[in-house]
């Protein structure tokens, strides 16, 4: 009985981890493409991986859904990933229309983009602050 429960739970967790990991990979790729993040990485020794993890965690705090396995949260991960990989879409205009629908409305899609941008700025600020604190502690 315990094995069956463990297998069932594993089957539920796997898609959730997959969606979050795909989102984190899309965020990492986006960060690696941005010049501001590249400069911060050089100046403050912030790795793109650390920045991506922070952004994913911060964005997740403001996503729909209450917990990691919430279907709304899983859908939000997929939608954010779809948005961040828009440049690889064969028909970006159609994809944007789909995202407007997937997020619920153009307003909610705009709020999701704002959530992502604010999360990036919050993380950059926090990680720079940590980097400066570490530098002071070393002196």
* pLDDT tens profile 92-131: 999 999 999 999 999 999 999 999 999 999 999 999 998 8
Evaluate whether residue 74 is within a structural domain.
yes
Condensed to tens digits (0 to 9), the pLDDT of residues 17-73 reads: 688 999 999 999 999 888 766 666 677 788 899 999 999 999 999 998 887 778 889
Number of H helices, E strands in the chain: 6, 0
Whether 36 and 42 have beta carbons less than 8 Å apart is answered as no
Domain count, the chain: 1
Evaluate whether residue 106 is within a structural domain.
yes
**Kind and range of the H or E run holding 14:** helix 2-33
- Taking CB atoms within 8 Å and a gap of at least 24, the contacts of 39-44 are 40/124, 40/127, 40/128, 44/127, 44/128, 44/131, 44/132
Q: What is the per-residue pLDDT for 8? A: 47
The model carries a pTM of 0.81
Evaluate whether residue 2 is within a structural domain.
no
Q: Quote the tokens at residue 116.
A: 């992502």
Evaluate whether residue 3 is within a structural domain.
no
Q: What is the per-residue pLDDT for 6? A: 42
Evaluate whether residue 6 is within a structural domain.
no
- Parent domain of 80: 15-138
**Kind and range of the H or E run holding 111:** helix 106-138
Evaluate whether residue 69 is within a structural domain.
yes
């Amino acid at each position: 009985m315990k094995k069956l429960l463990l297998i069932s739970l594993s089957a539920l967790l796997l898609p959730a981890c997959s969606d979050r990991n795909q989102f984190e990979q899309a965020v990492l790729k986006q960060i690696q493409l941005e010049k501001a993040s590249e400069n911060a990485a050089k100046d403050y020794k912030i790795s793109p991986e650390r920045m991506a993890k922070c952004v994913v965690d911060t964005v997740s705090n403001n996503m729909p859904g209450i917990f990691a396995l919430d279907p709304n949260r899983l859908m939000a991960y997929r939608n954010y990933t779809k948005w961040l990989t828009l440049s690889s879409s064969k028909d970006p205009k159609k994809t944007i229309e789909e995202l407007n629908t997937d997020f619920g409305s153009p307003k909610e899609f705009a709020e999701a983009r704002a959530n992502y941008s604010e999360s990036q700025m919050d993380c950059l600020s926090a990680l720079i602050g940590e980097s400066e604190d570490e530098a002071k502690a070393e002196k």
